[in-house]
Structure 1
Amino acid sequence: MAAYGTDDGLTAWLTAQGLALPVGAVPATLREIGSAYVDAAYEARLQCSHRAGGFAQELAWPRAGHRVNGQPVPEDLIPPAWINASYRAAYLQAITPGWATGSTDPNRVTKREKVDVIEREFFTAADAGGAASAAGMPSDAIINGMVLPWLCSSKRRADTLFRVI
């Protein structure tokens, strides 16, 4: 399975953040899980471009036709922020096993409970609309912040409405 970054890169990133993997953690496996999480949670928001290597490409990056702030992104670039986000997801998976692979079914979440005359209503982060990750995926504010500049706008732009041939 493919993964973003390297084991040495993960170790360097953790050290720079003042973090460390638990004893016995396998960096290569955690990078694979972290990479799979970031792609699964955020690739749906990369619909303004496509995988540079086509459908056979294992990871979401590199991408072809991607633009950030109106500037074209090189087709061989894997954004360092995307790599760092996968490192953060790997770390979260290491300290909380199952974090990156768990999910919630928004259709099965109790939103309101009533017992006798007492009624409570619950809200999730998804209700606030602040998470950029896919519905049902666990979300981390730091990862959201890392990948947000690379995600496609959900608003339609004039240059996406017309194709000149």
Structure 2
Amino acid sequence: MAGYGSDNALKAYWDAAGYTYAADAPFAALRQRGSAYIDGTYGLRFTGQPTGGIDQERAWPRTGATAYGAALASDLIPTRVEQASYEAAYVELKKPGSLSISFDPAQRVKRQKVDVIEREFFEPGDNGNIFAPNAPVSTIIEGLLAPLIGPVYGLPAIMVV
């Protein structure tokens, strides 16, 4: 499996952002993890569909994808997608395993009471974080991908006035 971009582009992006990393960091593995996170978290929200269909390894390139109302080429992997995967890779570098959170929705604490301490568990379908409640959320990644994603299915779109 290959992550978006290249090791050299990843290092150049991190350098430009002022991020620190070891010269022997596992760059290819970090790119893979960052790319898997982007595809898994945002893949269903990207416009269009993978050009190579279900057997395509990554979510990009896509057919029918748009950004800012304009059609994107069906062989394009947007720079924003690569950069978002580099941001995710840096999150993984700084806190290994943070991009692959496993959780049991039935064990999400909403409230429980023990004497004066109370905890309650979220029921399936309760809002909170609709994805993985302990998964990291990066405003940088959200901002990079904003032109490429649609609303979360089942939730109302946010209207900007």
1:55 counterpart SS class: helix
Shift of 1:122: 8.9
From 126, 150, 154, the counterpart of 1:152: 150
**Aligned residue identity for 1:104:** F
Counterpart of 2:131? Answer: 135
Q: Counterparts of 1:95-134 in structure 2 under 5 Å? A: 95-119=94-118, 127=127
1:1-165 to 2 correspondence within 5 Å? Answer: 1-22=1-22, 24-46=24-46, 48-119=47-118, 127=127, 135-136=131-132, 137-154=135-152
Cα distance in structure 2, aligned partners of 1:151 and 1:75: 16
The answer (yes or no) to whether the contact 2:81–2:144 under 8 Å persists in 1 is yes
Q: Which runs of 5+ in 1 are unaligned?
A: 156-165
1:128, CA displacement in angstroms?
A: 5.8
Identity %: 42
Instruction: After superposition, give the CA deviation of every residue in 1:95-121 in whole Å (9 maximum; x if it has no partner).
Output: 101011223333321111212244466
- Per the alignment, residue 161 of structure 1 pairs with none
State the shift of 1:4 in Å: 0.2
Asked whether the 8 Å contact 2:106–2:121 carries over to 1, the reply is no
Task: Give aligned pairs, total.
Answer: 149
What is the letter of the counterpart of residue 30 of structure 2? L
Secondary structure at the aligned position of 2:109 is classed as: coil
Are 2:3 and 2:31, in contact at CA under 8 Å, matched by a contact in 1?
A: yes
The CA deviation string for residues 28-87 of structure 1, in whole angstroms up to 9 with x for no partner, is 1110111011101110212x4110112221000010011223211111111111111100
Per the alignment, in what secondary structure is the counterpart of residue 36 of structure 2? helix
Deviation, 1:23, is 5.6
Give TM-score scaled by structure 1 length: 0.78
Taking structure 2 as the reference length, the TM-score comes to 0.80
- C-alpha distance in structure 2 between counterparts of 1:111 and 1:128, whole Å: 9
* RMSD of aligned Cα (Å): 2.5
Q: Taking structure 1 as reference, are residues 104 and 138 closer, same or farther at Cα in structure 2, changes over 3 Å only?
A: farther
> Structure 2 CA distance, aligned partners of 1:141 and 1:108?
27
Q: Secondary structure of the residue that 2:91 maps to in structure 1?
A: helix
